[in-house]
Amino acid sequence: MPRTEIVGAKGKIDDPQEFILALQEINGGSGLPLNADLICGRDHLLSATAHALRAFERGRNVCSSLPMETLVYASGERQISKAMQKMGVTSGSGRIAIVFFGPVDADPILSRLGLERDDSVLDLSIDKLLRFGIAADEIDLVPRGAMADLVLERVAFVELMKR
């Protein structure tokens, strides 16, 4: 598995396309920015990345790049356009999750992009689960310590939806 680093950050994005291009041009790697308001813990993105890598290994990827395949899994959606709409960063986004692929030093990159590192934006909350699309009655059925599993289940389920 290529080295990945997952970070949370706060800051303003003026132009999402320019921001994405800047992350794709990192020396030695690339980065995938996501709306942190839908990220339900670090394991959410670790699982999405692992599933994306497996999809490439097995020839079942729907995207041509690892970052985009990771986005599909992280979103719990089968379609790329829905995944981008659900999880993509937008103008003015204040809470951003970034998955860095490759050997990168995240903090100088964040600084160059005008962002402040804040890994707390990755933390799980009931509000995030609801925004992600998990029903309140489903959340009520699981113990507090197992709520992240609801999202991990959706990430894993993408594999079945792609068939």
Structure-token match 């937008």, residue found: 90
Class of the domain covering 4-161? alpha beta
DSSP annotation of 120? G
Quickly state the pLDDT bin for 160 (edges 50, 70, 90): confident
Tell me which amino acid residue 119 is.
Answer: D
Alpha helices in the chain (DSSP H): 16-24, 42-57, 66-75, 80-87, 106-112, 126-132, 136-141, 147-161
Q: What is the pTM of this model?
A: 0.93
Q: Give the tens place of pLDDT for each residue, 85-140.
A: 999 999 987 999 999 998 888 999 999 999 999 999 999 999 999 999 999 999 99
